[in-house]
Amino acid sequence: MRILLVGVDHKTAPLEVREVVSFSKQQTSLALPGLQRRVGEAVILSTCNRTEVYATAENPDAAAEHIARYVAEFHGLSRDTIDPHLNTIVDEDAVQHLFRVASGLDSMIIGEPQILGQVRDALATASNADCVGAPLNGLFHAAVKSGRRVREETEISRNPLSISYAGVRLAKGELGSLEGRRVLLIGAGDAGRLAAVALGASGVRNLLIANRTLARSQDLAAELSGTAVPFDEISDVLRQVDIVISATDAPEYVLSASAVSQALKASNGSGGKLFLFDLAVPRDVEPAVAQLPNVRLFNIDDLSSIAEENLRDRKREARAAEGIVEDELGRFARWWDSLDSDSMIRALRSQAEDIRRHELERAMKRLAALPEDDLEVLEAMTRSIVNRLMHDPTMFLKHKATTTQLDAARLLFGLGEEEDR
């Protein structure tokens, strides 16, 4: 059995690709059963910076093709759109990748705190859909353990910088002080809440909050001394603010070019300029907005300068975190080999027992009727022969065999042969 990862991330794919292959929570639940029919157990990890499918397979190449085709079909995309950007990683490299992801080492913002919960949620969603078995369950639990150790034993998450905080820092870098600025925050979920807290810490006192569910924006506004506004009044509110930060999980644009254009016809109090920071994937703001006069539009990929600064600050802790990841990789490898050898030993012993029974029955047909005591002796003798023959191979497979040797033994004894998925 092989571990397989197929997906895209912020290192391999631009935002316009990442957003079209992303899965919302609802889409993930809908997609998993179909994916399971194609490749067996699977987990989908989809965040603002990555969409990755983890699976186990006897034939990784065939399974990777099934996954790529399914993702394209689910989203109604041509393969030409996604294939040039796909990562296909197998075995230890795939395990190491997931451990680094869970530890915050593969994030755009090194050490960001949200990813560990997202890895845990991805496993929970797959489990709820009955699409994950013991191998991937063990893999993801080991990844979560690695991420937790990194956060407990290093300072990589000290004063963590989330995507939302990075967006606010980018706004400060573009505008200078945010004190006295009027800000509209669109989205009152986890990302929106983090952005609101960061805005408050940056001196913003005039904060308007819009969310599709008004009660959520009202609760956040009350907590942070902001003002809740109805979602359908966003276009009117645009005329009153200097800055917009949008962080929703909406599947379509929240701000269209036409809506922003209309808002700019009225003065917004900052010399007619409007700064928009779109932190969502898929994007909340129609890209054509960037072509409007007196508008500056930034998206999540514009955080690269903040990410580089953050990496410099955390480089020493990142090295310590990498050491923890390597340690946990060793633990997982031993568990994985044990899992594989145990199942193979059971299959090998079952095969030997089937042969013993078959040959004993053939022999009994050739012999005259034997007394019960003689039958018991013959039964015990054949069992003893099988056990003695199996003892040394069993001990070697259980305690000494490498993955390569296990694969060779599986082929030698004809174990686990099945059609390629």
Q: Using the predicted structure, report yes or no on whether residue 249 has a pLDDT greater than 90.
A: no
Paired sense of beta strands 50-57 and 2-9, if any: antiparallel
- Round to whole Å and give the CA distance between 153 and 318: 11
- Round to whole Å and give the CA distance between 309 and 66: 39
Q: Is the peptide bond before 282 cis (omega within 30 degrees of 0)?
A: yes
Please answer whether residues 82 and 16 qualify as being in contact, where contact means their C-beta atoms are separated by less than 8 angstroms. Answer: no
Summarize pLDDT for 278-325 with one digit per residue, the tens.
989 999 999 999 999 888 898 988 887 777 777 677 777 888 899 999
Taking CA atoms, 99 is separated from 55, 194, 308, 321, in Å, by 15, 25, 21, 10
Classified as helix, coil or strand, 191 is helix
- Round to whole Å and give the CA distance between 218 and 225: 10
Mean pLDDT of 161-176: 81
Q: What is the pTM of this model?
A: 0.75
- Position 402 confidence tier, pLDDT thresholds 50, 70, 90: low
Q: Taking Cα atoms as reference points, which of 208, 341, 321 lies closest to residue 268?
A: 208
- Domains of the chain (ranges, CATH numbers): 2-157 (3.30.460.30), 163-304 (3.40.50.720), 338-413 (no CATH)
Q: Using the predicted structure, report yes or no on whether residue 270 has a pLDDT greater than 50.
A: no
Crossing angle for the helix pair 304-366 and 372-399, to the nearest 10 degrees? 160
Instruction: Quote the tokens at residue 185.
Output: 């925050």
Please answer whether residues 18 and 301 qualify as being in contact, where contact means their C-beta atoms are separated by less than 8 angstroms. Answer: no
Cα three-residue angle 258-261-266, rounded to 5 degrees: 140
Tell me, what's the pLDDT at 257? 93
Q: Taking Cα atoms as reference points, which of 146, 105, 150, 119 lies closest to residue 307?
A: 105
More confident residue, 230 or 405: 230
Summarize pLDDT for 202-213 with one digit per residue, the tens.
888 899 999 999
Instruction: Quote the tokens at residue 394.
Output: 């069993």
- Round to whole Å and give the CA distance between 73 and 82: 11
Chain-centre distance of CA 223, in angstroms? 31
Residues classed as catalytic = 48
% of the chain with per-residue pLDDT over 70: 94
- Round to whole Å and give the CA distance between 167 and 165: 5
Tell me, what's the pLDDT at 269? 46
Q: Which residues of 170-192 are buried (b: 16+ CB within 10 A; e: fewer)?
A: bbbeeeeebeebbbbbbbbeebb
Q: Using the predicted structure, report yes or no on whether residue 130 has a pLDDT greater than 90.
A: yes
Q: How many CB atoms lie within 10 A of CB 225?
A: 10
Please answer whether residues 100 and 38 qualify as being in contact, where contact means their C-beta atoms are separated by less than 8 angstroms. Answer: no
DSSP calls for 29-84: HHHHHHHHHHHSSEEEEE-SSEEEEEEEESSHHHHHHHHHHHHHHHHT--HHHHGG
Summarize pLDDT for 47-90 with one digit per residue, the tens.
989 999 999 998 999 999 999 999 999 999 999 999 999 999 99
Please answer whether residues 280 and 249 qualify as being in contact, where contact means their C-beta atoms are separated by less than 8 angstroms. Answer: yes
